[in-house]
Chain A
Amino acid sequence: MDSHNIMFVILAVFIVLSSIATVTTKSIVRAATYLLFVLIGTAGLYFLMGYTFLGSVQVMVYAGGIVVLYVFSILLTSGNHEVLSKNTKLKIASSALLSVVGLGVFLFFLFKEQFKAAALGAPDESVITMDRIGRFMLSTDSQGYLLPFEAVSVLLLACIVAGLLIARKR
């Protein structure tokens, strides 16, 4: 067994356990911490696929930005002493049943249809290089992504303005 396969198994167990803990833990600060673990594990998966830039963006934006934003807003609003799940047993059981049945149906169709994909080998950074990412991001031909790039920049500006406008003191 190669080292990247061992790393994949470790990451898979880590991600699955953390994502289940995110939705079942009692404390919301712990839920945010488990979400951080899930996001970092996902970045590890991207690194295993050879998508190093995507993994770095995942670590910087999700783990560095969004989770910190969540933790701050948790502390600003409720704090740690909030009742997270005050549901009847019936509702929890039916939600769990819905999720498990959905997962079962998904896995059934996943294994019914055979994908013609080769197994992933050792991490290979040359599948998409930084040079090609930059060229795709700023080119205007049929392969280019200049229009969504600019649209995202306008969206982020609108989001900054909207965040300030909504959360300001009156």
Chain B
Amino acid sequence: MIQLEYVLIISAVMMFAGVYGFLTRRSTLAILLSIELMLNSTDINFAVFNRMLHPEGHEGYFFALFSIAISAAESAVAIAIMINIYRMLKNISVDKLEKMKW
């Protein structure tokens, strides 16, 4: 049977894979991919806590729904910034982003 813990293990593995990618990647786009992994794992947690601890409620469901919309907005703006950085520096690696220091 599908227990709550099993789904939480999946989302925890996804979350910490995202943490690992966030710390080791050099390209900003790859860092954004890791952030999407982390956001997605929190969405799973919201949905599964709602479904299995409080099935007659709907709060986690709507939180996951709005979280998906907000992460879409976040990645759109972040990608626009990446494209702008690429125009200026011809590179989007985090090592080369020294112009943004000041």
Contact = CB atoms under 8 A, between A and B. Distances in A.
On chain B, which size bracket covers the interface?
35 or more
Contacts, number: 217
Contacts of A166: 77, 80-81, 83-84
A57 B9 CA distance: 23
Interface string A1-44: 00011001000100110011011000010011001001100100
Chain A binding surface SS class: helix
A32 B33 contact: yes
B5 A115 contact: yes
B14 to A, nearest CB: 5
A148 B68 CA distance: 13
A138 interface: no
Contact of B83 (A39, A73, A156): A73
A163 B76 contact: yes
B80 A119 contact: no
Contact of A128 (B7, B37, B58, B82): B58
Contacts of A102: 16, 19
Interface in B15-69: 16-21, 23-27, 29-30, 32-34, 36-37, 40, 43-44, 47-48, 51-53, 55, 58, 61-62, 64-66, 68-69
B65 to A, nearest CB: 6
Interface string A80-111: 00111111000110011011101100110011
A22 B17 contact: yes
A39 B20 contact: no
A159 B53 CA distance: 35
A130 interface: no
Sort A-B residue pairs by CB-CB distance and give the 6 closest, nearest first: A23-B21, A119-B1, A95-B23, A159-B73, A167-B80, A120-B2
